[in-house]
Structure 1
Amino acid sequence: MLLKPQDLLLALKLVALGSERWTYARLAKELGLSASEAHAGVQRCLRSSLLLENVAAYPADEATRAVLLSQDIYPVMQRRRRGPQANASGNPVRPHDRFLAEFVIHGARFVFVPDRTPMTVGVPTSHSAPAFAGVFAPGSNDYVWPHPNGQVRGLGIEPLHPNVPFAAIQDGKLYEMLALFDALRVGRARERGMAMDRLAAILDPHTPRPPKPAPKG
């Protein structure tokens, strides 16, 4: 079983949604996938431990169980859950904060290596994206996802998945994570360091981190 690019896109989308309720139809629509592709991607992420299953309580009322079963919903006995987000939303799965952060920050850039293209017009990414506004001055080495409706000219890099520009434009938080991930893939040392810090804070906010050393001088 191999993870596909859309699987990581799905996992990041679930991070962006947070405690919002979602359906596979919604995921498919907002990511430009089919519902079956969304479902298959979630299953691969579960097997890879990037996502965790939420377990709903088994309704005690016989009539309620009958209604659920008539809708092809199969309730199960409640199990002990861990973590502050454990099934708070009622969604079937949730991101595994620590494992997803470890994979995105330390492994995914070696798995999903981007192809680069000549100068083109597209949607800004990496340090050129809005997530880096005011941090790095725009320059000749701006990066973009090639896109016919883009308005920025720069060096083209292949997005994680062809639907990334479409999905990112609709969801600012997802856009930020995808651009930060691209900074890991193509950025210089300073940009990669910043992207690691910001992605860690977004993907795994509940894990304490050691304070940074004070600047010398």
Structure 2
Amino acid sequence: MQLKPQDFVVALKLVAWGDQRWTYARLAQELGLSASEAHACIKRGLQAGLLVQNHEALAPEVAALAVHEPAAIYRVARRKRVSGEDAPADNPVRPHARQLAEFALHGAKYAFAADKTPSTIGVPTSHSAPAFAGVFAPGSEDYVWPHPNGIMRGIGIEPLHPSVPFAAMQDARLYEMLALFDALRVGRARERGMAMERLQALIDPSAPKPLKGPVRG
């Protein structure tokens, strides 16, 4: 089993939803995936330990929907926090908060290294994303996910999956986490430190706060 970038996106989407009830059809629709892709992502996420089974959920829910749906067109256009143990029982799976946070902060940037492109039009990401206006110190370079309907010119970062710009526009919290992850991949030392702290708080809010030391770079 090899974890794919879209599996990580699906896990972050479930974090963004928190304790909302969801279906595979909705998951696929909001992420711009087919139903079969969404099921495959959940399966690999479970195998990798990024997700955990809700034992109270009905088993057929997990295996349902073998139907193929046409791929979506990728257009750009407060959750209540819960621990990994108290998600709604009728959701088939939930994020494993501690392990997902560990992977996001320390492993994913190596597993899914950033591929940069020349300056292009696209959707702002990393410290350039709208959620971080006034949070990160202004940088000399803006970063974008290349997209013909983008709103900013900057250095291109290939998104984790072609549907990421579309998916981010559907969900501000998912957008924030994806942009924070890009800050871990391409940001300067100060941006990486801030992104790590904020991403940890979003994925695993019950984790102990890290001790702060001097940040260089």
Instruction: Decide: shared fold, TM above 0.5.
Output: yes
When residues 104 and 210 of structure 1 are mapped into structure 2, their CA distance, relative to the original with a 3 A threshold, is closer
Alignment of 1:8-157 (within 5 A): 8-56=8-56, 85-88=85-88, 90-157=90-157
Identity %: 68
1:200 aligned to 2:200? yes
Whole-Å Cα distance in 2 between the matches of residues 19 and 186 of structure 1? 31
When residues 29 and 120 of structure 1 are mapped into structure 2, their CA distance, relative to the original with a 3 A threshold, is same
Whole-Å Cα distance in 2 between the matches of residues 14 and 56 of structure 1? 18
Q: Is the 8 A contact 2:122 2:153 kept in 1?
A: yes
Measured after TM superposition, the shift of residue 27 of structure 1 is: 0.6
Measured after TM superposition, the shift of residue 189 of structure 1 is: 0.5
- CA deviation profile, 1:22-69 (whole Å, cap 9, x unmatched): 1111111001111111011101000111001101278xxxxxxxxxx9
- CA deviation profile, 1:141-183 (whole Å, cap 9, x unmatched): 0000001111111111111111100000110000000000000
Measured after TM superposition, the shift of residue 86 of structure 1 is: 2.6
Q: Is the 8 A contact 1:177 1:199 kept in 2?
A: yes
When residues 55 and 116 of structure 1 are mapped into structure 2, their CA distance, relative to the original with a 3 A threshold, is same
Measured after TM superposition, the shift of residue 130 of structure 1 is: 1.7
Q: RMSD over aligned Cα, in angstroms?
A: 2.2
When residues 94 and 137 of structure 1 are mapped into structure 2, their CA distance, relative to the original with a 3 A threshold, is same
Whole-Å Cα distance in 1 between the matches of residues 13 and 124 of structure 2? 19
Unaligned runs of 5+ in 1: 59-68, 75-82
When residues 92 and 149 of structure 1 are mapped into structure 2, their CA distance, relative to the original with a 3 A threshold, is same
The alignment covers a number of residue pairs equal to 195
1:186 aligned to 2:152? no
Measured after TM superposition, the shift of residue 135 of structure 1 is: 2.0
Aligned twin of 1:6: 6
